[in-house]
Amino acid sequence: MANKALCLLLASVLLAYYVYSPLPENVEERWKLMLINVGFRTLQHVAALAETLGLAHYMDVIAVITVMEYAAPASDENVTVTDTEFDGVPVRLYVPKEHPDTPKRAVVYIHGGGWCVGSAAMKPYDHVSRWTSERLNAVVVSIEYRLAPKHHFPAQFEDVYTVTKYFLQTKTLEQYNVDSSRVCIAGDSAGGNLAAAVAQQLLDDPDVKVKLKIQILIYPALQTIDLNLPSYQDNANMPVLPKTLMLRFWSEYFTTDTSLNEAMETNQHVPAELSYLFKFVNWSHWLPETFKKGHTYTSPTVGSSTVGQKYPGFLDPRAAPLLVDDNKLRGLPLTYVVTCQHDVLRDDGIMYVSRLREVGVPVIHAHVDDAVHGAMMFSTSPMILTVGQRMVNDYIEWLNKNL
């Protein structure tokens, strides 16, 4: 009897120890977030184990969430939802049923998931797209791009670029009765990275006549040069996206060769001849004082390794949109950037805000002080957070007023 009680006590203590993760003071619904995080952490542990044992690729295990959260394309009384293809790339399309004859606004949406996981068909993304379509009476094109490790850069970029370009053709816009002056591109996390890259590349594309009205970048990843920014240091172990996982996503985007990941972990992956790129990510210059608190600037160390030369993709602006000259930023549309305080990617977004403002691009910066990375994904049951619902509402309301 006493033994049983002791075992039970021990098990409870171990469980509590496993579930508990320290969270910043201002985060609400702490236990709920810890429980959500237990799911993500467990998945990462299982993935690491499966990989060590040679049973599966790390990302193939993480991708289980995509399957678990699959939602079939279901139309309702307000919106017609179909899985189709644009120029050979799968998309999930949301077309409102009301006012079929009035010209509509449109949103091209790119889901997150570190270029390795995620899907337009995941419940939270399906929900946000459906809701956008309904609330704005807008056509939403949610892109199902190819993922790593099966496909590396630039496959992801090429897919989202192909779809956007196809959609922006006059004949496609007419087919869906879209007002060509009211089209927006949006994405979160890796999707924010792709949205920013697409918006930049469209500026120089002679085939595209229609201009985007807005770009929306929700906690985007924007640079591969300095992976030890204050936000990386302060939030290395925050729920949902720890630094180790973010570096794994980055390196996996380019290659399955783990030497790039190892070089990134010591922030020594940039070859010496490319150190001129450091100026684009000099957080001493680009971050407002409040975000530098407690940190002293050191630039990344140039790598002695050759990985930088082997996988130059990680310095390509289509992968790292922060690494461009000012003249590539001028001409970008009205930009809405969401950043979260407790997120390794926070400073990527903030530095882009500073750079865009400096060249005169109008920017709305929505900084969320009490959120972790990915918070907007937690807006549907069973994983619901009040902060996630608030962020989705703010995003859709802003879009409704400005698009």
Ligand X SMILES: *[C@@H]1O[C@H](CO)[C@@H](O)[C@H](O)[C@H]1NC(C)=O
Q: What positions carry a catalytic annotation?
A: 189, 343, 373
Residue type, 321: P
Judged by CB, which is closer to ligand X: 170, or 298? 298
Which residue in the set 76, 174, 325, 358 belongs to the binding site for ligand X (CB under 6 A)? 76
Judged by CB, which is closer to ligand X: 52, or 290? 290
Which residue in the set 40, 166, 176, 278 belongs to the binding site for ligand X (CB under 6 A)? 278
Judged by CB, which is closer to ligand X: 175, or 284? 284
H/E stretch holding 86 reads strand 79-86
Which pair of tokens denotes residue 165?
Answer: 């370009």
> In the window 285-304, what residues touch ligand X (CB under 6 A)?
285, 299
Judged by CB, which is closer to ligand X: 300, or 313? 300
Q: Give the list of residues 6+ apart from residue 350 with CB closer than 8 angstroms, or none.
A: 286, 287, 288, 291, 339, 365, 367
Which residue in the set 181, 237, 258, 284 belongs to the binding site for ligand X (CB under 6 A)? 284
Can you point out the beta strands (E) in 245-362? 270-271, 302-303, 334-342
The whole-angstrom separation of Cα 94 and Cα 368 is: 28
Judged by CB, which is closer to ligand X: 256, or 299? 299
Starting at the edge strand found earlier in the chain, the sheet holding 214-218 runs 79-86, 89-96, 138-143, 104-110, 178-188, 214-218, 334-342, 363-372
* Least distance from ligand X to the Cβ atom of residue 49, Å: 40
336 phi and psi angles, rounded to 5 deg: -115, 115
Quote the DSSP letter at residue 280.
G
Number of residues counted as binding ligand X (CB under 6 A): 9
- The answer, yes or no, to whether the previous bond of 382 is cis (omega within 30 of 0) is yes
Choices 9-17, 72-80, 106-114, 197-205 (CB under 6 A): range interacting with ligand X: 72-80
Which residue in the set 209, 279, 330, 357 belongs to the binding site for ligand X (CB under 6 A)? 279
Task: Tell me: does residue 137 bind ligand X (CB under 6 A).
Answer: no
Question: Which residue from 264, 234, 239, 238 is spatially nearest to 249, judged by alpha carbons?
Answer: 264
Which residue in the set 21, 44, 66, 78 belongs to the binding site for ligand X (CB under 6 A)? 78
Judged by CB, which is closer to ligand X: 66, or 137? 137
The whole-angstrom separation of Cα 58 and Cα 21 is: 23
Task: Tell me: does residue 402 bind ligand X (CB under 6 A).
Answer: no
Task: Tell me: does residue 237 bind ligand X (CB under 6 A).
Answer: no
Can you point out the beta strands (E) in 87-154? 89-96, 104-110, 138-143
Which residue in the set 2, 17, 52, 77 belongs to the binding site for ligand X (CB under 6 A)? 77
Task: Tell me: does residue 176 bind ligand X (CB under 6 A).
Answer: no
* Least distance from ligand X to the Cβ atom of residue 137, Å: 10
Task: Tell me: does residue 400 bind ligand X (CB under 6 A).
Answer: no
Judged by CB, which is closer to ligand X: 20, or 297? 297
User: Which residue has 């969270």 as its token pair?
Assistant: 23
Quote the DSSP letter at residue 288.
-
The whole-angstrom separation of Cα 155 and Cα 178 is: 28
* Least distance from ligand X to the Cβ atom of residue 297, Å: 6
Task: Tell me: does residue 354 bind ligand X (CB under 6 A).
Answer: no
Which residue in the set 177, 282, 305, 354 belongs to the binding site for ligand X (CB under 6 A)? 282
> What is the contact surface with ligand X in residues (CB under 6 A)?
76-78, 278-279, 282, 284-285, 299
